[in-house]
Amino acid sequence: MLEINQLTKFYESKKVLDSLNLNINKGEICGLLGANGAGKTTTINIICGLLNYEQGSIFINGQKLSKKSKYYLGVSPQENLLYSHLTCVENLAFFGKLYGLKGTKLKSSIYECLKAVNLLDKKDDTVSALSGGMQRKLNIAIALVHHPLLLILDEPTTGLDIEARYDIWQLILRLKQEGMTILLTTHLLDEAEKLCDRLCIIKQGKIVKEGSLNDLKNILPAKELIFIKCEQEEKLIEIAKKQGFNYRYYQGEIAILSEEILELSTIIDIFSEIYLTSVTKVNINLQHIYLEIINN
Ligand code: ATP
């Protein structure tokens, strides 16, 4: 559905996208993850035709990016793009008309979009009267009003409370079930883990790793992490190294990387020379994988 080849972008002399390759298959949710400034929004803005670029090619639905591509794309930007004094229906009508919708087609599309995001009962409320979560959902509805093939969601739940976030997750999963292809950026790794079929990690304008969560798990040389608290950390590291274990720090806490699942009693035996305050076995999740990629 989306094919980006060797995309390179400079801001003056600064290279912000560096031969970036990104492919999204029809019907999948692809997560674009990376640190602040990695190049996510720049990539999205180029796909949307808002920024030019120096090198590379972009195909949407098999066609080279052009002015016509806007009909294939629905974009929900990081900052809501809503008119606060207009109602939900008026906002949708305004954006629908920009895509050439009118009459019964426009009306039925507005109805479908409001239904899809569960805002039918708020249709005549002004945006300023909606909660943050509802405004975010309306922002997504607007991206859907012209029936795009590819939906781009730039940090769709940033700043929302947990219930509003779960509500939007359900909405995104429903859209996928209905066949929508989605490019999602987020800093929330639990969100990416829950929603994305495939993850693309961008670092300094380049995709450095991509794959499903399972594919990416191989990046860490471990089956599980063993978080150990003790007074003698240097000794702990010395024993771990002697025994051939790797280790990492996560939020200041040391974790031993074990290539096999170890019984608690075995771990205590291995480190029997030191007094262990606590030992916690943790499954590898996207946070560990992401840090491994970003820090190497
Ligand atoms: P965030 O997660 O904070 O949204 P991002 O991954 O979306 O970050 P971009 O906004 O694409 O990152 O920025 C990529 C790089 O381009 C950064 O170094 C940023 O400072 C730079 N940049 C972005 N916009 C401009 C601009 N208008 N002029 C100059 N440099 C820019």
Q: What is the mean pLDDT of each run of 10 residues along the chain (296 residues)?
A: 95 94 95 94 93 94 88 90 94 94 93 90 94 90 92 90 87 92 94 95 95 90 90 90 90 89 88 89 92 88
| 36 close to ligand 1 (CB < 6 Angstrom) | yes
Question: What was the pLDDT predicted at 159?
Answer: 82
Question: What was the pLDDT predicted at 259?
Answer: 86
| 37 close to ligand 1 (CB < 6 Angstrom) | yes
| 96 close to ligand 1 (CB < 6 Angstrom) | no
SS3 string of 112-145?
Answer: HHHHHCCCHHHCCCEHHHCCHHHHHHHHHHHHHC
For residues 39 and 198, what is the distance between their CA atoms, to the nearest angstrom?
Answer: 18
Q: How far is the CA of 266 from the centre of ligand 1 (A)?
A: 48
pLDDT digits (tens, 9 = 90+) for 76-108: 998 888 999 999 999 999 999 999 999 999 999
Q: How far is the CA of 41 from the centre of ligand 1 (A)?
A: 7
**285 contacts 219 by C-beta, under 8 angstroms:** no
Question: What was the pLDDT predicted at 161?
Answer: 84
For 174, residues 6+ apart whose C-beta sits below 8 A from its C-beta are 116
| 83 close to ligand 1 (CB < 6 Angstrom) | no
Q: How far is the CA of 42 from the centre of ligand 1 (A)?
A: 6
Question: What was the pLDDT predicted at 167?
Answer: 85
| 60 close to ligand 1 (CB < 6 Angstrom) | no
Which residue do the tokens 């076995």 mark? Answer: 281
| 38 close to ligand 1 (CB < 6 Angstrom) | yes
| 77 close to ligand 1 (CB < 6 Angstrom) | no
* pTM, full prediction: 0.88
Domains of the chain: 2-215 (3.40.50.300), 224-294 (3.30.70)
Question: What was the pLDDT predicted at 138?
Answer: 93
Question: What was the pLDDT predicted at 295?
Answer: 86
Atom of ligand 1 nearest to the CA of 39: 11
| 288 close to ligand 1 (CB < 6 Angstrom) | no
Closest residue CA from atom 27 of ligand 1? 11
For residues 138 and 140, what is the distance between their CA atoms, to the nearest angstrom?
Answer: 5
| 42 close to ligand 1 (CB < 6 Angstrom) | yes
